[in-house]
A = this chain, B = another copy of it.
Amino acid sequence: MRTIGIIGTGLIGGSMALKLREKGFADKFIGADTDEHHAHRAVELGLVDKTGSVDELIAQSDIIVIAIPVVATEKMLSKVLDSAEGKVVLDVGSTKMSLCESVKNHSNRQAFVATHPMWGTEYSGPDAATRMSFEGNVVVICDRNLSGKQALGLTEEVYDALGMKIVYMDSEAHDLHAAYVSHISHITSFALANTVLEKEKEDSAIFQMASAGFESTVRLAKSNPDMWLAIFKQNRENVLDVLNEHITQLKKFRSCFEKDNYEYMHELMENANKIKRIIK
């Protein structure tokens, strides 16, 4: 008999519950959500068997997954660890340094495993939860030497069951890389949406012409502002560095236009083609 408690029954927590249930990883799933409508929907959709208070959830669960925005996670984690003797606690947030720092002296630190499953969509809430999740993607486990053997082992089992490829990294390196491969993509997408919306005030023909390429680069702009503000705040230094580099790269294109230097523009695009090594 194993019970999993999911604090935050949204896209990530809900999808995790769906998939772990499918794999038979636990017998019982309990949820907790500050949003009553979300809690209600989570049961209705069969993501969890029941919902209740966080205290009840902690008391009844063997594994506790914290799947709420990162700033809220930081407030929640210490409290959860206080009552998590003999249990395993993991978070799934997009930033790690600040969170790990916040519990580094907690007497129950070894019960906690800091993880970041690199999967998500631009949608949120329990209705966005899907079985088509996680599989084949990478999960980063941070600072594993600070987690106890049992906690780490069980967490690895969770991600094996989800079909994810586990990568280990310290939390500082994680936050740096996450700025490059995830956080900056969201900023460029938000900014691109604003660029077009600024124009669209003048003319609505843009609506009709929006193509697949546009959708692809702008879809992240539909993401939840609360969630991303928390991530940007916590990863401020790294994101600002990458943003500066990105503006520099865009200015290179601008300068090519201004100087009619199409030879260099071609070079810039040829260099960008090397991204084929990273994404197929």
Contacts and interface: CB of A to CB of B under 8 A. Distances in A.
A193 interface: yes
A144 to B, nearest CB: 15
Contact of A199 (B185, B203, B245): B245
A75 interface: no
Interface in A237-253: 239-240, 242-247, 249-253
Contacts of A250: 187-188, 191, 243, 246-247, 250
Interface size class of A (residues with CB under 8 A): 35 or more
A178 interface: yes
A177 B205 contact: yes
A118 B209 contact: yes
A194 B270 CA distance: 10
Contacts of A192: 184-185, 188, 246, 249
Interface string A172-184: 0100011011101
Contact of A265 (B119, B140, B229): B229
Contact of A189 (B121, B217, B223): B217
A194 B257 contact: no
Contact of A278 (B206, B216, B233, B252): B206
Contact of A220 (B140, B199, B205, B217): B217
- Greatest chain B CB density within 10 A among A209, A214, A270 is at A209
Contacts of A218: 185, 275, 279
Contact of A222 (B187, B188, B240, B276): B276
A229 to B, nearest CB: 5
Interface of A: 118-122, 137-138, 140, 165, 167, 169, 173, 177-178, 180-182, 184-200, 203, 205-223, 225-226, 228-229, 232-233, 236, 239-240, 242-247, 249-254, 257-258, 262, 265-266, 268-279
In the A-B complex, the 4 residue pairs with the closest CB atoms: A225-B269, A193-B272, A193-B275, A190-B272
17 contacts: A120-B212, A122-B213, A137-B212, A167-B208, A184-B195, A191-B268, A193-B275, A195-B242, A207-B277, A221-B275, A229-B265, A232-B257, A232-B262, A233-B262, A243-B250, A247-B247, A247-B254
